[in-house]
């Protein structure tokens, strides 16, 4: 019997790192789920995600944001990366932010790719994000990086695959 | 292996297996070239604790976007309530209906929306087989069209204590377009 929800890979940083990459992702699943529990060495920068090494302005996102007092919405169009948090960014305290990013039907070569994200930061609030990558290519690699600074040592990034019947 | 579910949507392709494990794929439907007015998962077994629907979809409706809906056990009565928190990239808004005939999931791109863009959603239907409780769903969904679109956090209530045996997902008008995919998963308790 096939496993449906499969851990593909986990990276736990042994030292601070500018980015994390998952490459050679198999096309055998329907959706991917990236779970990040990360911190940054300075500041509270946004977290970026790029697919297949694409650095062109093929990404866009819409976000809904709750910061503890108000709800708001924001967007980034024609971007060179996904924002996988908008207000709920990681900071220097590991474990206070959790990010779950769904990359839907990532292996098909017909549709643009859509992501759905829940980002949560204890000190800043919670985000819901939808994003579009305007490419029909199957996703084979992910690069996650902070907009500035570096990820803290002991940050964890886990990639799961969800299979379908 | 004998199929345990039926798929009622017309002009769709799907294949089935009898699953085991804590998070199982129950059935998946990919919409074919003719489109489909809905995707229906029937004869859902009661062997799980929760259900999860995951979709990537687009509609044929003659507009930029169309709402995507869900019904349980084919109940078309005014037995549903719903809340949505929605962002369009500039404004956050909240909506509610106390007595409606369907559950709200969010929206998907439609015929005049950005070509090749599909909306997505992850829908949890909690304690679906319980016969003592009303049934609640929660959804994270959205569609981005590089300059337009929406992100939604939705919750819906079905005011019925029957076990859920059928889940129907459909656009509010028109059909699902080709390459739309809707998948049903079962999550077991310990």
Q: Which of B88, B117, B141 sits opposite A73 (nearest CB)?
A: B88
pLDDT of residue A82 exceeding 70 = yes
Give the tens place of pLDDT for each residue, A11-48.
999 999 999 999 999 999 999 999 999 999 999 999 99
Q: Which of chain A's residues have a Cβ under 8 Å away from the Cβ of B88?
A: 62, 73
Chain B, 93 to 152: residues with Cβ < 8 Å from chain A are 94, 114, 116-122, 140-147, 149-152
User: How far apart are alpha carbons B99 and B79 in whole angstroms?
Assistant: 6
Chain B, 156 to 175: residues with Cβ < 8 Å from chain A are none
Q: Compute chain A's Rg from CA coordinates.
A: 15
User: How far apart are alpha carbons A29 and A106 in whole angstroms?
Assistant: 8
Asked if residue B150 belongs to a domain, the reply is yes
pLDDT of residue B4 exceeding 50 = no
Q: Hey, which bits of chain B come out as E strands?
A: 6-7, 12-16, 23-31, 39-42, 50-57, 65-72, 80-87, 92-100, 103-109, 119-126, 135-144, 149-158, 167-171, 181-187
Confidence of residue B20 (pLDDT cuts 50, 70, 90): low
For residue B116, give the chain A residue with the closest CA. Answer: A111
Confidence of residue A2 (pLDDT cuts 50, 70, 90): low
Asked if residue B129 belongs to a domain, the reply is yes
For residues A160 and A6, is the Cβ–Cβ distance under 8 A?
yes
The structural domain count of chain A equals 1
Asked if residue B133 belongs to a domain, the reply is yes
pLDDT of residue A165 exceeding 90 = no
User: How far apart are alpha carbons A137 and B75 in whole angstroms?
Assistant: 40
Give the tens place of pLDDT for each residue, B126-135.
999 999 999 9
Burial A108-137, CB ≥16 within 10 A → b, else e: beebbbbbbbbbebeebbbbbbbbbbbbee
Q: Compute chain B's Rg from CA coordinates.
A: 16
Which pLDDT does position B63 carry in this prediction? Answer: 98
For residues B56 and A111, is the Cβ–Cβ distance under 8 A?
yes
Give Cα separations from B62 to A49, A96, B112, B139 (angstroms). Answer: 33, 44, 6, 25
User: How far apart are alpha carbons B185 and B40 in whole angstroms?
Assistant: 13
For residues A116 and B121, is the Cβ–Cβ distance under 8 A?
yes
Asked if residue B176 belongs to a domain, the reply is yes
The structural domain count of chain B equals 1
pTM of the model as a whole: 0.93
For residues A79 and A57, is the Cβ–Cβ distance under 8 A?
yes
The three-state secondary structure class of A13 is coil
Does B142 contact A78 at a Cβ distance shorter than 8 Å? Answer: no
Average pLDDT over residues B166-189: 97
Which pLDDT does position B98 carry in this prediction? Answer: 97
Confidence of residue A164 (pLDDT cuts 50, 70, 90): confident
pLDDT of residue B111 exceeding 90 = yes
ipTM above 0.90, yes or no: yes
Q: What is the nearest CA distance from A153 to chain B, expressed in angstroms?
A: 31
Enclosing domain of residue A135 = 5-162
Which pLDDT does position B16 carry in this prediction? Answer: 43
Enclosing domain of residue B80 = 6-187
Which pLDDT does position B10 carry in this prediction? Answer: 36
Fill in the DSSP letter of residue A106: T
CB neighbourhood size of A140 (10 A)? 16
Asked if residue B10 belongs to a domain, the reply is yes
Confidence of residue B11 (pLDDT cuts 50, 70, 90): very low
Give the tens place of pLDDT for each residue, A108-153.
999 999 999 999 999 999 999 999 999 999 999 999 999 999 999 9
Q: Which of chain A's residues have a Cβ under 8 Å away from the Cβ of B58?
A: 111
Give the tens place of pLDDT for each residue, B113-154.
999 999 999 999 999 999 999 999 999 999 999 999 999 999
Cross-strand bridge partners of residue A68: none
- Burial of A13: CB neighbours in 10 Å, binned 0-12, 13-18, 19+: middle
CATH number at A68 reads 2.60.120
Give Cα separations from A46 to A33, A81, A151, B77 (angstroms). Answer: 19, 11, 11, 45
Interstrand relation of A113-121 and B103-109 (parallel, antiparallel or unpaired): unpaired
Contact residues for A123 (Cβ-Cβ < 8 A; gap 6+)? A91, A93, A96
């Amino acid at each position: 019997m096939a496993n449906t929800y499969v851990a593909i890979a986990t990276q736990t940083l042994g030292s601070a790192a500018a980015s994390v990459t998952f490459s050679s992702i198999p096309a055998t699943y329907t959706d991917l789920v990236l779970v990040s529990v990360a911190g940054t060495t300075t500041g509270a920068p946004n977290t970026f995600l790029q697919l297949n090494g694409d650095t062109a302005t093929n990404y866009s996102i819409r976000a809904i944001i709750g910061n503890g007092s108000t709800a708001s919405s924001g967007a980034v169009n024609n971007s060179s990366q996904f924002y996988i948090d908008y207000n709920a960014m990681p900071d220097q305290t590991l474990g206070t932010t959790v990010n779950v990013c769904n990359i839907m039907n990532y292996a098909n070569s017909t549709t643009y790719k859509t992501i759905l994200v829940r980002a949560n930061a204890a000190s800043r609030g919670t985000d819901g994000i939808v994003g579009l990558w305007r490419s029909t290519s199957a996703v084979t690699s992910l690069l996650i990086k902070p907009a500035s600074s570096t990820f803290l040592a002991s940050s964890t990034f886990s990639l799961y695959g969800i299979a379908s019947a | 292996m004998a199929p345990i579910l039926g798929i009622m949507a017309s002009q769709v392709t799907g294949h089935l297996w009898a699953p085991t494990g804590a998070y199982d794929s129950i059935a998946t439907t990919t919409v074919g070239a003719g489109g489909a007015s809905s995707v229906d998962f029937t004869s859902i077994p009661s062997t799980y604790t929760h259900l999860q629907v995951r979709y990537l979809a687009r509609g044929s409706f003659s507009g930029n976007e169309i709402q995507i809906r869900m019904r349980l056990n084919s109940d078309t009565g005014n037995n549903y309530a719903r809340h949505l928190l929605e962002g369009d990239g500039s404004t956050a808004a909240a909506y509610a209906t106390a007595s409606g005939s369907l559950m709200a999931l969010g929206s998907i791109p439609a015929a005049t929306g950005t070509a090749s863009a599909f909306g997505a959603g992850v829908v949890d239907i909690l304690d679906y087989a319980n016969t003592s409780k009303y049934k609640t769903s929660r959804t994270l969904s959205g569609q981005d069209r590089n300059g337009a679109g929406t992100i939604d956090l939705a919750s819906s209530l079905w005011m019925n204590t029957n076990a859920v045996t059928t889940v129907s997902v459909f656009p509010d008008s028109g059909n699902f377009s080709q390459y739309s995919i809707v998948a049903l998963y079962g999550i077991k308790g310990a």
